[in-house]
């Protein structure tokens, strides 16, 4: 299936009927927007010992990611449409995540509590995660994957491709990092642009939106419930006692199958 959340796009493979043998070359081949299908992340749905399904995520470069908020919302919507249910739980490497139908075509997922200690994000050594010793004093947050958030006067003027690529590989982040540039545009309202680890510039990112909301609240810029405007549209983020909830629209674009000839070309 091809799906997207605010332009943050995914290929979703259903492995519940039969097991899939994915290699890095196959993942990268499917990710190719000219010779494959193209995606920011690839997600695999499998049966789960706990919860309604198990989700595994891969970046466009073939690397894995423990969390992908928009893909989780898209798949949750698909499974709710499939079963007629309005709530379910999905097992990921991030943990067991609850998803609900929020009405009006909106799907919400609880992405869990943020990781705020340097060792959990992880960072290269002990330090204050609120203001890192990097030019611009960004904030580090873990949402099952690492995030580095810069609060700037105008996110539109940032050279996202250049700065994002540089920070992704900063030595303070041993597992690389997602990078966000955010600007406060009103009370509890942020404009944010994203460079995704293993992907590059993307129109939206759910886990990045959660990380930015947490960072803004920790720095006293906003409350714990905010609206974030990304290049692809808006998400509502609510940092509650039980975790960081993310709500927004989803789209199931198409369903189909990969041809044998295409798969053989990737081996």
Q: Do domains 2-110+250-265 and 139-241 have the same CATH topology?
A: yes
DSSP states along 16-66:
SSS-----HHHHHHHH-TTTS---SEEEEEE--SSSSEEEEEEETTS-EES
Helices (H) and strands (E) in the chain, counts: 5, 17
pLDDT at 67: 87
SS3 213: helix
CA pair distance 70, 80, nearest whole angstrom: 15
Taking only the tens place, the pLDDT of each residue in 21-30 is 899 999 999 9
pLDDT of residue 267: 81
Whether 222 shows a pLDDT value over 90: the answer reads yes
pLDDT digits (tens, 9 = 90+) for 102-142: 999 999 999 999 999 999 999 999 999 999 999 999 999 99
Please return the burial class of 7, using the count of CB atoms within 10 Å of its CB with bins 0-12, 13-18 and 19+.
middle
Query: 139-241 has which CATH code?
Result: 3.10.310.10
Biggest alpha carbon–alpha carbon distance for the chain: 55
Overall average pLDDT of the 166-191 stretch: 98
Output the pLDDT for position 94. Answer: 87
Q: If you search the block for the tokens 């075509």, which residue do you land on? A: 105
The reported pTM is: 0.93
3-state secondary structure of 262: helix
Q: 164: helix, coil or strand?
A: helix
Question: Is the domain 2-110+250-265 a CATH 3.40.50.300 member?
Answer: no
Q: Report the share of the chain in percent with pLDDT over 70.
A: 100
d(CA 93, CA 219): 28
pLDDT(214) > 90: yes
Cα distance between residue 69 and residue 27, in whole Å: 19
| pLDDT at 241 exceeding the cut of 90 | yes
Domain boundary assignment for the chain: 2-110+250-265, 139-241
């Amino acid at each position: 299936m091809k799906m997207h959340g605010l332009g943050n796009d995914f290929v979703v493979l259903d492995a519940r009927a039969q097991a899939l043998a994915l290699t890095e070359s196959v993942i990268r081949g499917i990710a190719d927007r000219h010779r494959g299908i193209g995606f920011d992340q690839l997600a695999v749905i499998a049966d789960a010992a706990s919860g309604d399904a198990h989700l595994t995520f891969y970046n466009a470069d073939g690397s894995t990611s423990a969390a992908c908020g928009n893909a989780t919302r898209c798949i949750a919507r698909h499974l709710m449409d499939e079963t007629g249910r309005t709530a379910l739980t999905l097992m990921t490497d991030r943990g067991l995540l609850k998803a609900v139908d929020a009405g009006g075509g909106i799907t919400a997922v609880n992405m869990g509590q943020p990781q705020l200690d340097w060792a959990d994000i992880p960072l290269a050594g002990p330090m204050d995660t609120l203001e890192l010793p990097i030019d611009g004093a960004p904030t580090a947050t873990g949402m099952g994957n690492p995030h580095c958030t810069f609060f700037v006067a105008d996110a539109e003027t940032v050279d996202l491709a250049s700065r994002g690529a540089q920070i992704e590989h900063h030595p303070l982040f041993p597992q690389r990092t997602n990078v966000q540039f955010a600007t406060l545009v009103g009370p509890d309202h942020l404009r944010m642009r994203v460079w995704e680890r293993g992907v590059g510039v993307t129109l939206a990112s759910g886990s990045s939106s959660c990380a930015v909301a947490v960072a803004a609240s920790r720095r006293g810029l906003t409350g714990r419930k905010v609206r974030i405007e990304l290049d692809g549209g808006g998400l509502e983020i609510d940092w509650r006692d039980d975790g960081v909830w993310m709500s927004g629209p989803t789209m199931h674009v198409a369903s189909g199958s990969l041809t044998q000839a295409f798969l053989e070309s990737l081996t």
